[in-house]
A and B are shown apart, each in its own frame.
Chain A
């Protein structure tokens, strides 16, 4: 298939396309399932485009719903890529070198989903050109939404271009220019933190919604991001190392699980802190929290959800805090699943919806997502999984050395039994040691 006459970038694209269109039946079944949900979601979105947002569960009192909840959660997942990026590129921690590409692919997928959730939420997606520089009007720096759009898109470009450059260099058997990518890496780390703070400020900057108008919003968003993001990463890495020749060492999972553990503990501290402030001397401003946790004036749609989330988070934090259970793969994975779901509920619906309930004049109009919202959301999640799978599927063979621009005929994939571990910049790494984790 590989022709030396083609330019490298052409062959790179062709190899990539070949990689994503070939695979086991399980791979094809997975992609077919995702495609099915993407099509289903597109159809539901076409219904929403035709009828308007009336087909969602939202109304004038709860004017943001499932879409913005998902958006909020996914920005956190994207920001968490920094957990892998920083030690690998800056601190040269070799344990994370393998996982970092996966982490960045996850960030790209999460950003694609986050941006999609904003696009499906607006009433006039065709008028989004009003935001384009030069053509439209960008209310920067006044509107936090402008800040958010800016940081989201730059972060997307950073997380896409840095791994692309590293992989392309590796594909060409060149060592990447450190002076070229290191500044970008440093920028992306700074960007990840600001990305999620800005998303928190989107809500915290609204005195009209006392539930959101708290200084804890930003730190809590970061803590939940660094819990749910790496938890998802552990799950993804576990799947990858079970199903592909891509080696992820135990020590990598071990370090990641420590990050998750500490972040999950901080999340619980912040939850207690929030609940104390809201309930010790409950004021007028605590009405949303009362609605969320205990129900208000006979309305309690979110109560079972939030307590399930808290139960999941507490149980998972318990599992991860005990060394023996954290180091048991099955228990670790259970803990990660619980944390992912718990934070998805707490930070998504559990944060966005109560901001609107009660409404500014104290009345309660509850919200429940419609089938259109649920179907469109499922479609976007499927699209995110699709993007991630494509990125990971193309990146892994290059990283393993199976795909090269000028591959020698006897350099077949099967020859690569135990590939040497390398840093993303191509520096070889000492063979894995069963070093004990902290």
Chain B
């Protein structure tokens, strides 16, 4: 199945795709006309305009061939270089076979330091103006797990006496409601269980935000702003690459790290070891040990979302 004008243009022609190709040619031609006919434009400007047009007409990442994926991320790298003069490395690493990522959160160990929240922001190139955060740390009073009575905007020394802490973020549901509702298949679950968003394909309708029972998704209400020197250059197409305004984003279990065998930034940053991440299909993984030896539970299990995010206590 083909989609996206650039993909269609690169495909061998048959009768079925003929009309699509004509439409594509028209649209691309207009773009070319606009840039190439402008006598004032420099070569760099023309290249930028050309790449921007290619970006606008690119297809859905999930349906791209390996070559198309490679070409797409290389173009995005070049576009970033033209825009800012900086070099970033955008990976398109696929899910590894026999990997299904899962996460466990040790309620006994979390002390509410929120180092995970900060590490996540830095790692994932989130908007600094709105202080966007994928992780919320809820401060519960002893004696109840009641989120509406918890404090997730605390500003005092932690750990506070008589309180305990729980973090929420994307639960990477095995049956994700956000994926079902997306009208254009801009969000999906990867074979390794990570729920991702194609930021170039998202139309910004925010239906997925309404469908998520865990407040996992964030919207770029304005153009995200990150100081140039704070941009994390180690990126993944489906992860922490820079977003534009008007698209949805979310936790990706730091796909740019986890697919290279690393740990998500939140896990690495946690000073108390409350966060455990690993391959659910690997019988020797720490996450499997937790699931086998601790009394674990998940949040809002009654909704049938099958989160791959467990909580436990020592």
Complex Cα distance A363/B146, Å? 11
Q: Which residue of B lies closest to A209 (CB)?
A: B210
**Inside 8 A of A138's CB, which chain B residues have their CB?**
183-184
Given A130-B184, A136-B184, A137-B184, verify A145-B213 contact (CB < 8 Å). no
B207-221 interface (Cβ within 8 A of A) = 207, 209-215, 217-221
Which of B33-41, B65-73, B174-182, B287-295 faces chain A? B174-182
Q: How far is the CA of A197 from the CA of B171 in the complex (A)?
A: 31
Chain A nearest CB, measured from B128 CB (Å): 14
Query: Contacts A53-B219, A287-B148 known; A361 to B138 CB distance under 8 Å?
Result: yes
* In the assembled complex, A122 has its CB within 8 A of some CB on chain B: yes
Nearest CB to that of A145 among chain B residues? B183
Please tell me if the beta carbons of B183 and A149 are within 8 angstroms of each other in the complex: yes
* Nearest CB on A from B202, distance (A): 7
- Given contact pairs A53-B246, A142-B180, A208-B303, A127 touches B206 in the complex (Cβ within 8 A): no
Q: A123-B206, A123-B219, A135-B4 are in contact. Are A146 and B183 (CB under 8 A)?
A: yes
Contact B3 A361 (CB under 8 A): no
Residues of chain B with a CB closer than 8 A to A149's CB = 183
Among A55-63, A77-85, A104-112, A406-414, the one that faces the other chain is A55-63
Contact count A vs B, C-beta below 8 Å: 149
B213: nearest residue on chain A (CB-CB)? A208
Nearest B residue to A364 via CB reads: B148
For B96, list chain A residues within 8 Å (CB): none
**A128 contacts B203, CB within 8 Å?**
yes
A63 to B5, CA, bound (A): 31
Q: Which of A59, A142, A287, A356 has the most CB of B within 10 A?
A: A142
Q: Min CB distance, A129 to chain B, in Å?
A: 9
Return the CB mask of B49-73 against A: 1 if under 8 Å, else 0: 0000000100010010000000000
**A395 CB → nearest B CB, Å:** 34
Chain B residue nearest to A132 in the complex (CB): B23
Name the interface size band of chain B.
35 or more
Chain A residues closer than 8 Å to B8, beta-carbon distance: 135
Interface hits, A178-228 → B, CB 8 Å:
205-209
Contacts of A56 in B (CB 8 A): 221
Write the nearest CB–CB distance from A199 to chain B, whole angstroms: 13
- Interface size counted on chain A using CB atoms at 8 A: 48
Q: B17 — nearest CB in chain A belongs to which residue?
A: A134
Whether a CB of chain A sits under 8 angstroms from the CB of B82 is no
* A51 CA / B183 CA spacing, docked (Å): 25
Question: Are the CB atoms of B185 and A124 closer together than 8 Å?
Answer: no
B214 → chain A, closest Cβ, in Å? 6
Does A54 sit at the interface, judged by CB under 8 A? yes
How close is A90's CB to chain B, nearest CB, in angstroms? Answer: 33
> In the docked arrangement, what's the CA distance between A237 and B200, Å?
47
B147 within 8 A of A: yes
The interface bits of chain A over 110-154 (1 if a CB of B lies within 8 angstroms of the residue's CB, else 0) are 000000001001111111101100111111001111100100000
Q: Are A52 and B222 in contact (CB under 8 A)?
A: yes
Please determine whether A143 and B221 come into contact, CB atoms closer than 8 angstroms: no
The answer to whether B218 and A60 touch across the interface, beta carbons within 8 angstroms, is: yes
Known: A144-B181, A362-B148. A130 touches B203 (CB 8 A): yes
CA distance A61 to B206 in the complex (A): 11
Is B220 a contact partner of A139 (Cβ separation < 8 A)?
no
Measured between beta carbons, the chain B residues less than 8 angstroms from A53 are 204, 219, 221-222, 245-246
Q: Is the CB of B182 within 8 A of A134?
A: no
The answer, yes or no, to whether A355 is at the interface (CB within 8 Å) is yes
- With A53-B246, A121-B205 already in contact, the answer to whether A131 and B184 are too (CB < 8 A) is yes
- Contact: A139 with B183, CB < 8 Å? yes
Distance of B71 from chain A, by nearest CB (Å) = 19
- Chain A nearest CB, measured from B262 CB (Å): 28
A360 at the A/B interface (Cβ < 8 Å)?
Answer: yes
CA distance A127 to B138 in the complex (A): 36
Give the residue of B152, B205, B215, B221 whose beta carbon is less than 8 angstroms from that of A145.
Answer: B205
Q: How far is the CB of B76 from chain A (nearest CB, A)?
A: 16
Which residues of chain A are within 8 angstroms of B274 by Cβ–Cβ distance? none
B168 interface contact, C-beta 8 A: yes
Give the docked Cα–Cα distance between A386 and B247 (Å): 32
Instruction: Given contacts A126-B56, A127-B56, list 6 more A-B pairs with CB under 8 A.
Output: A60-B215, A64-B206, A121-B205, A131-B203, A136-B4, A144-B181
Can you list 19 pairs linking A and B with CB atoms under 8 Å apart? A59-B221, A60-B221, A63-B209, A118-B205, A122-B246, A123-B245, A126-B56, A128-B203, A130-B201, A135-B3, A137-B60, A146-B183, A149-B183, A208-B177, A359-B215, A360-B213, A361-B147, A361-B168, A362-B150
Q: Which residues of B contact A (CB under 8 A)?
A: 3-5, 8, 19-20, 23, 56, 60, 63, 136, 138, 146-150, 152, 168, 177, 180-186, 201-207, 209-215, 217-223, 244-248, 303-304
